[in-house]
Structure 1
């Protein structure tokens, strides 16, 4: 049956009873109905559920679970009152150990389907010690009343957020000081240095809430003993403890030797280059972002064996010589 849809693929919602078979790379569960693939947010493989489909794309139905008929053993009650509405978190309804299994499964399936690996060499997911209160970077939208919140996924609807369970406590403590005072702003971005207690907040909030420092050019964070400058336009890992675990894991798996030459593609502000520089002969780092390269020049000042090359990785690699 053909259904009328708009340019965004939205259709008149309809409901289907399905068995969820797998998990998709965007986080939704996958099912099939009369030969048609259905992606359903907030489901878990193995469940029987009712899915409300409200979008279609290339013959695929996209929607969300609205009723669980037979729940998976790993289904839990989401602790966040905004879950399913704000569009940020996707898996709070799944027990955390099962989330880690599903993450590895998604990577394995992508390598198999797209990379054509017969037996993808995917290790177990390294979980966080605490999956709550970790996020050091928040970007809040602001509505006409000056309230801070998020825009609902797949829509333009705004939802006010007074406390986000995955944000660092410092960010949550700043929220009530800004709620209802930020009219005229488009967004408020807050970044917090977990190991330095420094912040980077844009735009200038001095006239709105003087107690909150803002309009900094950059802030600093420390990872595994190294200090990094990060500007507003530069990417940095949003989970500081996990970033430190990742550095240790990369060092362990590379089995680097003192005479090695390493290539750090998409090097950012130098996170891995700086961490590994003491252990190798030379590192060539490639990064396209001007802001990230500017930060990196500061961050690598104590590591003369790091060479930064600005540009696209795919353009520079073919021309690169030692």
Structure 2
């Protein structure tokens, strides 16, 4: 199956459950190892790969052949599946991927007594399960070759077409492949609704006949245009981002007089969605570049106030008690002082948007211990073919 890996030895094993990396677990030499390309309860032949990490030997396995197959196994359509490692689950039918992702959320929550009995809604499917990513970061090797680095072996894999990327990004990839030797990394962002693009860094080679080095591009979302600067965050799955915005708005339960805080506001996507049914929206963002984008994106919306600040400081300094606070932190979750500020201000609703179930569960546990109840947990698949999962969790103060 994945015989492009060089293997020291092969062994037949029965696979255990999925782990946090999207691999399956297995027992080998009396130790638990990660196995790429498997599905729980399958019996497989794996290739054993050994490497050193901090002077300690690490062993992982790669499925080479399947003896007893899962009913959910399919043929991975991508020729780079395995050596690339960017996708973990192309060999699993999509309906089962959605079930696995909801179970991943549940498994993380069960590590905390106060979260262990929560009901998890079924995962919302992505409209596109391929060609959905609007942002690619390529590694560049000798002679300007573009590709990705395997997360385990650290081997470089040249890529001619990525099945996760939008057709626009793959078009730029073909135009730039083998022509960008002057840089070691290349980022391409593409607006599927505007056909605008951003390629960084600027490429000076005369071989490159397309515009590069843009400082920003624009994308349309829920009827509004958003300017996105090179360092600013924007959801990579544009169509599913629209679903996410609608869900966040629904969970806020706005009534026209609501006062809302959009923490980690980024370029202002949630603020724009919430403004028409709120009397006031406070958009908090620490990144100056993102705030600059947000002010352009939300021009004309007079009920939005921008605060360039750390989230915890801005929330504590509010002169009012918010009706809703949206938390959409980076993958490492909320700073403890942010959670403390929420507990002190005690907004009527907290909508926590997370792309990391480990830090989400940790932060929810703190909020629950601080007097909040988890009302609703909705997983959303923003990242088909991978183990990553987005979640929207609604909390209210315990009366």
Shift of 1:178: 1.5
Equivalent in the alignment of 2:291: 293
CA contact (8 A) 2:148 2:159 kept: yes
Equivalent in the alignment of 2:301: 303
Please give the per-residue CA displacement for 1:119-171, whole angstroms capped at 9, x wherever unaligned: 22321111122211111111111111111111122243221111111111111
Say yes or no: does 1:23 pair with 2:18.
yes
Say yes or no: does 1:137 pair with 2:135.
yes
Gaps of 5+ in 1: 1-11
Distance 1:54 1:149 in 2: 24
CA contact (8 A) 1:15 1:53 kept: no
SS at match of 1:309: strand
Give the alignment's Cα RMSD to 1 decimal.
2.5
Equivalent in the alignment of 2:329: none
SS at match of 1:237: coil
Equivalent in the alignment of 1:113: 111
SS at match of 1:22: coil
Taking the TM superposition and a 5 Å limit, the aligned residue runs for 1:87-102 are 87-102=85-100
SS at match of 1:281: strand
Shift of 1:27: 1.0
Distance 1:66 1:167 in 2: 27
CA contact (8 A) 1:202 1:214 kept: yes
Task: Rate the CA distance shift 1:298–1:67 in 2: closer, same or farther, 3 A.
Answer: same
Among 27, 36, 51, which residue is 1:41 paired with? 36
CA contact (8 A) 2:179 2:208 kept: no
Distance 1:126 1:243 in 2: 12
Task: Rate the CA distance shift 1:115–1:55 in 2: closer, same or farther, 3 A.
Answer: farther
Please give the per-residue CA displacement for 1:35-65, whole angstroms capped at 9, x wherever unaligned: 6433222111221234435368899964433
Task: Rate the CA distance shift 1:191–1:79 in 2: closer, same or farther, 3 A.
Answer: same
Task: Rate the CA distance shift 1:46–1:215 in 2: closer, same or farther, 3 A.
Answer: same
Distance 1:156 1:313 in 2: 36
Task: Rate the CA distance shift 1:306–1:159 in 2: closer, same or farther, 3 A.
Answer: same
Please give the per-residue CA displacement for 1:235-288, whole angstroms capped at 9, x wherever unaligned: 101111111111122222332221222222221111111111111122222222
Among 271, 283, 294, which residue is 2:281 paired with? 283
CA contact (8 A) 1:284 1:308 kept: yes
Please give the per-residue CA displacement for 1:160-202, whole angstroms capped at 9, x wherever unaligned: 1111111111111122221222112112211111111111111
Distance 2:57 2:145 in 1: 38
Gaps of 5+ in 2: 1-6, 321-399
Shift of 1:100: 0.9
Equivalent in the alignment of 1:214: 212
CA contact (8 A) 1:136 1:192 kept: yes
Among 246, 249, 262, which residue is 2:247 paired with? 249
When normalised by structure 2's length, the TM-score is 0.71
Equivalent in the alignment of 1:192: 190
Distance 1:188 1:60 in 2: 30
Distance 1:14 1:173 in 2: 40
Report 1 or 2 for greater relative contact order, CA contacts < 8 Å, sequence distance ≥ 6: 2
Shift of 1:107: 1.2
Aligned residues: 311
Task: Rate the CA distance shift 1:78–1:60 in 2: closer, same or farther, 3 A.
Answer: same
Distance 1:247 1:87 in 2: 30
Shift of 1:290: 2.2
When normalised by structure 1's length, the TM-score is 0.87
CA contact (8 A) 1:206 1:213 kept: no
CA contact (8 A) 2:51 2:57 kept: no
Please give the per-residue CA displacement for 1:49-89, whole angstroms capped at 9, x wherever unaligned: 34435368899964433332211101111000000011211
Task: Rate the CA distance shift 1:247–1:310 in 2: closer, same or farther, 3 A.
Answer: same
Distance 2:147 2:57 in 1: 33
SS at match of 1:139: strand
